């Protein structure tokens, strides 16, 4: 067994070197230093279905050190999920083996990783989802480990420590993380940038910490078993390793971190490892030994499915299982009614919607980054308790002032499957979340981001809390649905869109200040119009002389401005520019007729974005400077967000 394991590790290292060399691009050094641990994990411990990479109760393995992707691809080849041709196409166009793991491309890959630290944080989301579903479905249905392989760079990213603090607080004992501490990074030795005692740090974060020789197979096995047995704390295995372990002359060299090895170094290394000179060598005995567990794994998966089928006879279980497995477009959501004419902040409308649907959506989990009253999630928190602290059946994620970890954890929960995650904070703090939001879009994850306090109307808190560029900036992220509703009715329509979408994340931008609730009897399109992003809210007879376009709080401003003209005016509400742009030209031209060039737009944010709709010579009422500390109404007057000023700007142009 020991000799065959050593041989398997050597074969994996050979595949790593060959794949990177053939692509002439990649990171062989870290992958080789992690090879002992990962090979043992995959061949001896990882519970999965060899015939179904998406089996629901599989152990999850997250390669947070995404630059070590050739290691994972080599193990997925031995697992039967990737072909040899796939390995040879490493980093090539349209291959299943891209430069960093991508979840929607490669079977067996659980998360798209590359931006360091986020894989580690996502693993906390995976484990949190497992714990919640285990509580709701039973440990005979949901009971798996979340394994993560992290590098020095992962642990240096502050997001990792933020997420680790929550994992410790929540007692996520089914996380087993391996920290490949090879003490080398791209620019040189880690001692040049870090003096951290990671054992003491993680123990202080309520983790179970084990230190091992990361190349000693017996120590690795013992550490994984100890991590599995520790149920009250997540486990960090610090594996002290050597960069490019086994290389002929480059062991410990930072040059192997991000550069292919030369042909003579590869040849000498293969000889040292006892491998033949041929490229991509995988002997039959290694494959057979690696797959020796597969019949047992298949039996485990089949028994699990039989158990689930039997439990479906229980009505309560069947109902919850339906919530866990139901496709999002099939969600049946009963949204609340709102009273036309009343004034309500759209953040309050969100809170009202959340309160109305939370009982009927038991897989809806989430919370606020220490802003529960402001984000209108306090009732949700009081009703269902704080996850981990109040038990694993609690649904509120109390993440504290940790916006970036919150966003990445939501990604992990969505990747795990079975839940509808959301997270809330002030819009100005979306900058802290931004790279995780980008990863939501990149991974095709329909996570809901709730951003309140969406403009200078925040008022007295001043420019640090008043978003200016944020909505326009977030619209630049491909495949992120922007939702800035005009009132309570548009808010529930936007939330319905977000929760029922299958592949795209949504960011909803909500006001602090009250807005008039539009009457569906007077504005019937307010109910269904948001689904197309932009729609005619109020029209005129015949072809309009002037089109006013607005989003969010400026829609009511546009309606009031329209009353100041004797000309024929059309008012277009555009809660989602992204969704509007996706509509066919016939629809867009019907809403914004090309022949009607007299156009004006209003949004309490950057003006740049709106010229695509009004033309370079059009009128845009916006704000391209930082705000000030003063009541919102005072700032509204100062910055010209009044019907009179908007009308003046339009008259001066048209």
Instruction: Express each pLDDT in 432-488 by its tens digit.
Output: 999 999 999 999 999 999 999 999 999 999 999 999 999 999 999 999 999 999 999
**Gap between the Cα atoms of 163 and 545, Å rounded:** 55
115 known member of a binding site: yes
186 known member of a binding site: no
Question: Which one of 279, 296, 313 terminates a domain?
Answer: 296
Residue 342 shares a structural domain with residue 472: yes
Q: What average pLDDT does range 201-207 have in this prediction?
A: 98
At 43-73, the pLDDT tens digits run: 999 999 999 999 999 999 999 999 999 999 9
Residue 59 shares a structural domain with residue 176: yes
Residue 374 in this model has a pLDDT that exceeds 70: yes
Would you say residue 309 lies in a domain? no
Give the tokens for residue 84. Answer: 């040899």
Q: What value does the mean pLDDT of the chain take?
A: 97
- Enumerate the active-site residues: 403
pLDDT at 42 (0 to 100): 98
67 known member of a binding site: yes
pLDDT at 10 (0 to 100): 98
At 158, the pLDDT band (50, 70, 90 cuts) reads very high
In the DSSP assignment, the letter for residue 170 is T
pLDDT at 2 (0 to 100): 81
Give the tokens for residue 241. Answer: 């390793």
Would you say residue 228 lies in a domain? yes
pLDDT at 299 (0 to 100): 98
215 known member of a binding site: no
Question: Helix, strand or coil for residue 82?
Answer: coil
Would you say residue 322 lies in a domain? no
Q: What average pLDDT does range 237-243 have in this prediction?
A: 98
Q: What domain range includes position 112?
A: 2-296
Residue 359 shares a structural domain with residue 449: yes
Q: What average pLDDT does range 76-95 have in this prediction?
A: 98
120 known member of a binding site: no
Q: Which residues contact residue 566 at a Cβ distance below 8 angstroms, ignoring those fewer than 6 apart?
A: none
Q: What average pLDDT does range 216-245 have in this prediction?
A: 98
- Tally the residues of the chain: 654
Residue 217 shares a structural domain with residue 269: yes
Would you say residue 312 lies in a domain? no
Question: Which one of 451, 486, 516 terminates a domain?
Answer: 516
Q: What average pLDDT does range 186-192 have in this prediction?
A: 91
Handedness of CA 52, 55, 60, 64 (dihedral sign): positive
Cα 588 to chain centroid distance, Å, stands at 31
Residue 37 shares a structural domain with residue 159: yes
Residue 48 shares a structural domain with residue 23: yes
Would you say residue 499 lies in a domain? yes
Of 611, 517, 610, 507, whose CA–CA distance to 555 is shortest? 517
Would you say residue 306 lies in a domain? no
Residue 16 shares a structural domain with residue 64: yes
pTM exceeding 0.95: yes
Angle at 442 between CA 440 and CA 444, to 5 degrees: 65
Give the tokens for residue 380. Answer: 């949700």
Question: Which one of 481, 516, 551 terminates a domain?
Answer: 516
User: In the chain, pLDDT over 70 holds for what percent of residues?
Assistant: 100
Residue 511 shares a structural domain with residue 538: no
347 known member of a binding site: yes
382 known member of a binding site: no
**Gap between the Cα atoms of 628 and 283, Å rounded:** 69
Q: What average pLDDT does range 564-580 have in this prediction?
A: 98
Handedness of CA 31, 33, 39, 42 (dihedral sign): negative
**Gap between the Cα atoms of 515 and 342, Å rounded:** 8
Residue 260 shares a structural domain with residue 382: no
429 known member of a binding site: yes
Residue 216 shares a structural domain with residue 116: yes
Total structural domains within the chain: 3
Residue 104 shares a structural domain with residue 249: yes
281 known member of a binding site: no
Can you give the CATH number for the domain in which 341 is found?
3.40.50.970
184 known member of a binding site: yes
**Gap between the Cα atoms of 323 and 215, Å rounded:** 44
257 known member of a binding site: yes
Q: What average pLDDT does range 122-133 have in this prediction?
A: 98
Would you say residue 435 lies in a domain? yes
Residue 180: beta bridge partners? 151, 239
Residue 27 shares a structural domain with residue 142: yes
453 known member of a binding site: yes
123 known member of a binding site: no
**Gap between the Cα atoms of 19 and 89, Å rounded:** 8
**How many distinct helices (H) and strands (E) make up the chain?**
29, 19
Would you say residue 76 lies in a domain? yes
pLDDT at 1 (0 to 100): 57
At 567, the pLDDT band (50, 70, 90 cuts) reads very high
């Amino acid at each position: 067994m020991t000799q065959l394991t050593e041989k398997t590790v050597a074969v994996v290292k050979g595949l790593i070197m060959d794949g990177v060399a053939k692509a002439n691009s990649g990171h062989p050094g870290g992958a080789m230093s992690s090879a002992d641990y990962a090979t043992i994990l995959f061949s001896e411990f990882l519970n999965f279905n060899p015939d179904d990479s998406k089996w629901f109760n599989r152990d999850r393995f997250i390669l947070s050190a995404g630059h070590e992707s050739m290691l994972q691809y080599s193990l997925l080849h031995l697992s039967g999920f990737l072909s040899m041709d796939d390995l040879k196409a490493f980093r090539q166009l349209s291959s299943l083996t891209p430069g960093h793991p991508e979840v929607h491309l490669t079977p067996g890959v659980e998360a798209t990783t590359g931006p360091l630290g986020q894989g580690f944080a996502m693993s906390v989301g995976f484990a949190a989802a497992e714990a919640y579903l285990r509580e709701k479905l039973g440990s005979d249905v949901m009971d798996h480990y979340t394994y993560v392989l992290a590098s020095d760079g992962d642990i240096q990213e502050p997001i990792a420590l933020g997420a680790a603090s929550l994992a410790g607080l929540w007692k996520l004992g089914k996380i087993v993380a391996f920290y490949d501490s090879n003490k080398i990074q791209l620019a040189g030795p880690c001692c040049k940038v870090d003096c951290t005692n990671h054992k003491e740090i993680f123990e202080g974060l309520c983790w179970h910490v084990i230190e091992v020789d990361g190349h000693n197979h017996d120590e690795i096995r013992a550490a994984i078993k100890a991590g599995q047995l520790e149920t009250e704390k997540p486990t960090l295995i610090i594996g002290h390793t050597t960069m490019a372990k086994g290389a002929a002359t480059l062991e410990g060299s930072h040059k192997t971190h991000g550069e292919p090895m030369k042909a003579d170094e590869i040849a000498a290394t293969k000889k040292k490892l006892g491998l033949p000179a041929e490229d991509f060598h995988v002997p039959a005995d290694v494959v057979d030994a690696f797959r020796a567990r597969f019949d047992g794994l298949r039996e485990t998966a089949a028994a699990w499915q039989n158990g689930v089928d039997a439990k479906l006879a229980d009505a309560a279980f069947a109902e919850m299982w339906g919530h866990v497995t139901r496709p999002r477009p099939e969600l049946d959501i009963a949204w609340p009614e709102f009273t036309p004419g009343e004034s309500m902040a759209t953040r309050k409308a969100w809170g009202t919607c959340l309160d109305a649907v939370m009982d009927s959506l038991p897989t809806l989990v989430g919370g606020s980054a220490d802003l529960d009253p402001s984000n209108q999630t306090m009732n949700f928190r009081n009703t269902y308790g704080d996850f981990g602290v109040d038990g694993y059946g609690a649904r509120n994620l109390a993440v504290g002032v940790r916006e970036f970890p919150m966003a990445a954890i939501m990604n992990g929960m969505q990747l795990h499957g079975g839940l509808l995650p959301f997270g809330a904070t002030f819009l100005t703090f979306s900058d802290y979340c931004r790279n995780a939001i980008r990863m939501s879009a990149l991974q095709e994850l329909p996570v809901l981001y709730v951003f309140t306090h969406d403009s200078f109307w925040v008022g007295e808190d001043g420019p640090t809390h008043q978003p200016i560029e944020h909505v326009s900036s977030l619209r630049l992220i491909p495949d992120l649905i922007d939702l800035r509703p005009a009132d309570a009715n548009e808010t529930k329509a936007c939330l319905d869109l977000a929760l029922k979408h299958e592949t795209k994340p949504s960011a909803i931008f909500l006001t602090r200040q009250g807005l008039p609730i539009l009457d569906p009897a007077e504005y019937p399109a307010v109910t269904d119009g948001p689904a197309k992003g932009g729609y005619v809210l109020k029209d005129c007879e015949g072809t309009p002389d002037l089109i006013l376009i607005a989003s969010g709080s400026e829609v009511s401003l546009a309606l009031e401005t329209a009353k100041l003209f004797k000309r024929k005016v059309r008012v277009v509400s555009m809660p989602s520019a992204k969704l509007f742009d996706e509509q066919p030209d016939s629809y867009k031209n019907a809403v914004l007729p090309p022949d009607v060039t007299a156009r004006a737009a209003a949004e309490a944010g950057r003006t740049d974005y709106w010229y695509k709709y009004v033309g370079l010579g059009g009128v845009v009422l916006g704000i391209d400077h930082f705000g000030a500390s003063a009541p919102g109404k005072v700032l509204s007057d100062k910055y010209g967000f009044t019907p009179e000023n908007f009308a003046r700007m339009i008259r001066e142009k048209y």
